[in-house]
Amino acid sequence: MGTSATSATSATKAEQQYVLEMKGITKSFAGVPALRGVDFGLKGGEVHALLGANGAGKSTLMKILAGAYEYDEGEMLLDGRPVKHKSPADAKRLGIHCVYQEVDASLVPQLTVAENVMLDAIGAADGKAWISPRRQAQEAGQILASLQVDIPVQRKVADLTIAEKQMVLLARIVRQEAKVIIFDEPTAPLSGSEADTFFRILSELKQRGTACVFITHRLPEVMEHADDVTVMRDGTKVHSGPVDALSMEELVAQMLGKTFAEEFPKVAAEIGEVVLNVKGLCQGRKVKGVDLTVRSGQIVAVVGLVGAGKTEIARMLAGAERPDGGEIYMRGHSMLFKQPADAIASGIVSVPEERRKQGIVIEETVERNISLPLLNRISRFSFISGSRERGLAERTIASLGIKTASAKLPVKYLSGGNQQKVAIGKWLEKEADVLLFDEPTKGVDIGAKSDIFRIIGQLATAGKGVLYLTSELDEGLGIGDVIAVLYDGSIAAVLPRSEATLEKILYFASGGREENL
């Protein structure tokens, strides 16, 4: 009985009509093709993941769908009828909406939650049909309650968290009875529990029959929450079908045109003497007596699920936070870091998780960001040498393959992957013994991730010690010479690369014990 019901459900889903179809979509910019005859279809009540490296064309395709760009050739159908919208406002009137990472751009922080939820309705009224504050609060509250979101409707949006703002924007879209919602990296700024709330609401949207496009670099989320997946590469569609038809490794191969191991083969480096030794490092309940050893030429991957304590460890070793206890030794000498400058002076430099807040100066140019740690080297009599600064930037841009129109371009205009390369690049000519990387691939596409792996491998072959902290367990396995598995603030296991498997890492990261293996 159960099998028949499942088969019937699958058949119904397979036969379901497309809510939206894009056929043969072609788009060029200044004569350079960005999309080459792309087909893309969405069904009601499905989550459709759209994947691809930077430059693959997925953003251009979605901007066309959202009305920000017009296509050169092709056809778009909504509920089987041809449409050609010329602006985001046109798209919204058709029921096509976008939720971007930067939700602040879509909300008015000075207004209340209720006013933001009802914003489009208030604007549409245009003075002809006044909506009282009481009615605004009542209707907004009902929508939020239907999504099981508990946010007081009289709170100012300026006082909300990123996750709460995202919920408010979703409530506004739900009120407009959206047919299609495009989610662009929606979980990138969210914590684990906040992401769980987002996916619960995504499931609710599916139940309402909404077609959802899910753009992300987080493949485990795709495997768990998407129904179908389309992969783009070089402006073309290279795969489309049910998400369970491909493994995660096969998805990566589709995006890159090769497997990740082929794109970044592990390069053996000569491993030398101990450069960093950490003994009994602790901080409150977050870090509990951590021991770590890093040698020159060695990549030690510290992997753990979100909340395991890895960022706290990274910040203490970088001098950004003070430990409650423990010892830090650099080349056998005991160190006490009161501030990041102390760690840098001892030979430890850091690429932090929050690169836009802590790793780069977002309003400054690529050139200035790269030169900041080396101002004393490129200055004379307190004046910066423009030619030295330019030369340093040009060498770094060429070495790391940073994609920028100019070294004078502000870093805020670069993609996430290229911003991360700038955050790494500023340390390349600094005489550091150890480089700390905390979630270095967060928010970057698969191609940029491959570049970052290559750069870290080169640092190891140059004799640097690397501490790579990540919640992406497969990344730790892929890059580490040694994998230290973190659970609840403690090192649960230390595995040589030759003995590590993803299953073992997940076992220890989830609280498994050696004696039970």
392 with 325, same domain?
no
Whole-number average pLDDT of the chain: 84
Please check whether residue 517 lies inside any domain of the structure: yes
Residue 489 CA to residue 285 CA, distance in Å, equals: 7
| Domain boundary residue, one of 263, 285, 314 | 263
416 with 438, same domain?
no
319 with 329, same domain?
yes
117 with 255, same domain?
yes
Q: State mean pLDDT over 356-380.
A: 76
Q: Which two tokens stand for residue 221?
A: 């989320």
Q: Check residue 233 and give its pLDDT.
A: 87
Farthest CA pair distance, the chain: 84
* Rg value, the chain, Cα: 25
pLDDT tier for residue 47 given thresholds of 50, 70 and 90: very high
Please check whether residue 9 lies inside any domain of the structure: no
Please check whether residue 188 lies inside any domain of the structure: yes
Please check whether residue 278 lies inside any domain of the structure: yes
Residue 143 CA to residue 170 CA, distance in Å, equals: 10
Please check whether residue 245 lies inside any domain of the structure: yes
333 with 367, same domain?
no
Q: State mean pLDDT over 138-157.
A: 90
Q: State mean pLDDT over 48-74.
A: 89
Please check whether residue 48 lies inside any domain of the structure: yes
Q: State mean pLDDT over 297-313.
A: 89
- Domain count for the chain, please give it: 3
- pLDDT, tens digit (0-9, with 9 covering 90-100), for 269-291: 899 999 999 999 999 888 999 99
Residue 313 has pLDDT above 90, yes or no: yes
AA identity, residue 315: R
CATH number at residue 437: 3.40.50.300
Q: Check residue 517 and give its pLDDT.
A: 59
| Domain boundary residue, one of 220, 241, 263 | 263
438 with 300, same domain?
yes
Residue 191 CA to residue 124 CA, distance in Å, equals: 35
57 with 89, same domain?
yes
Domain boundaries, position 379 = 361-430
426 with 447, same domain?
no
Q: Check residue 2 and give its pLDDT.
A: 42
55 with 167, same domain?
yes
Residue 355 has pLDDT above 70, yes or no: no
499 with 512, same domain?
yes
DSSP 356: I
Please check whether residue 353 lies inside any domain of the structure: no
292 with 153, same domain?
no
Residue 251 CA to residue 471 CA, distance in Å, equals: 20
89 with 158, same domain?
yes
**Burial of 100 per CB tally in 10 Å (0-12, 13-18, 19+):** middle
Please check whether residue 488 lies inside any domain of the structure: yes
Q: Check residue 194 and give its pLDDT.
A: 82
Q: Check residue 185 and give its pLDDT.
A: 83
| Domain boundary residue, one of 263, 285, 311 | 263
Residue 116 has pLDDT above 80, yes or no: yes
pLDDT tier for residue 259 given thresholds of 50, 70 and 90: low
